[in-house]
Amino acid sequence: MLSLRVTSSRIALALATTFTLTAGAAWADLELPAPSPAAKVMQRVGITDVSLEYSSPAVDGRKIFGALVPWDKAWRTGANSPTKITFSRDVTFGGAAVPAGTYAIVTIPGEKSWTVALNKDLAINVTDHTYDAKDELVRVKATTSAIPHRERMTFVFDNTKDDSTSLDLEWDKLRVSVGIKVDTGAHVAASIKSTLDNAWRPYANTARYLAEKKQEYPAALEAIDKSLALKSVWFNNWIKADILHRQGNNAEALKFAQIAKDLGDKDANFFYKESVTKALTDWQAKK
């Protein structure tokens, strides 16, 4: 009888432990609406992407500005984690130059005007409205205007053009706006130059593939000649040398290998230097 009681106790304990572990796992997976749900918004301005990640608190019957959000005190501009803004290229934010990157937004609300700061510390802690500005990048003035009631704090982009947009924070009955400008003309020009400067690469890579994987040497030579016509660098000269060597034309292969060596010696990224140098010796012997 005693043995039966001990066994029953062990079973009960095991069941209780299993229930506790199972319940704990279930609670860990439980999803409920957050008081300040996460939000994201993105806008392309010309060829520059501007995006924000933030938490969106509700008015919920409270007095917001001048009360929950005091005047003239630093605010993390949302709830939970700091609000973050990311620029894919350099921009002008509220008249201040800002390099591409991600920054935390800190605001200082005022009854007549707002100040908006971008901080390099993405984990910036604005506790009890105290704020350490040591990692602040820029601080600009924002414009404010009255709007119809908006229950949840929301960021929107407005009046977007190829080279500008307005970042607007809207909550309760207030809109706070900061202008963002991008030099789309310069960005496009740089993109075109980069594309043209590297137009030789697809032909070179095609030639290399055709030679190494397919042994289709005439097609490979056609592709590498197109690459060389666009720009002569050590890499595509070396590919042509290799193709010619594969065809048994060592005399011509040596010419292009030597060009590759001469150009490569001026390039800090001459990562085939040993192969090219060895080829010049080996192919000369087979000439």
pLDDT at site 15: 54
CA–CA separation, 252 vs 243, rounded Å? 10
**Tens digit of pLDDT for each residue in 185-204?**
999 999 999 999 999 999 99
Q: Which two tokens stand for residue 21?
A: 């572990």
Kindly list the domain boundaries of the chain, sorted by start residue. 1-31, 38-182, 198-286
Q: For the structural domain made of 198-286, what CATH number should be given?
A: 1.25.40.10
Write out the DSSP string of 190-238. Answer: HHHHHHHHTTHHHHHHHHHHIIIII--HHHHHHHHHHHHHH---HHHHH
| Contact (Cβ atoms closer than 8 angstroms) between residue 103 and residue 137 | yes
For position 221, what pLDDT does the model report?
98
Please give the structure tokens belonging to residue 132. Answer: 């350490």
Tell me the H-state helices in the chain. 2-29, 184-197, 200-209, 217-230, 234-246, 250-264, 273-286
- Under 8 Å between Cβ of 204 and 224: yes
Name the one residue in this structure whose structure tokens are 């591409």: 100
Q: What is this structure's pTM?
A: 0.78
What is the rounded radius of gyration, in angstroms, for the C-alpha atoms of the chain? 32
Q: What pLDDT, in 10s, does the model give residues 209-224?
A: 999 999 999 999 999 9
Provide block-wise average pLDDT over 10 residues at a time, the chain (287 residues).
52 56 64 90 98 97 96 93 96 98 97 96 86 95 97 98 98 98 97 94 97 96 98 98 96 97 97 97 85
Which sign does the torsion angle of CA 224, 227, 231, 234 carry? negative
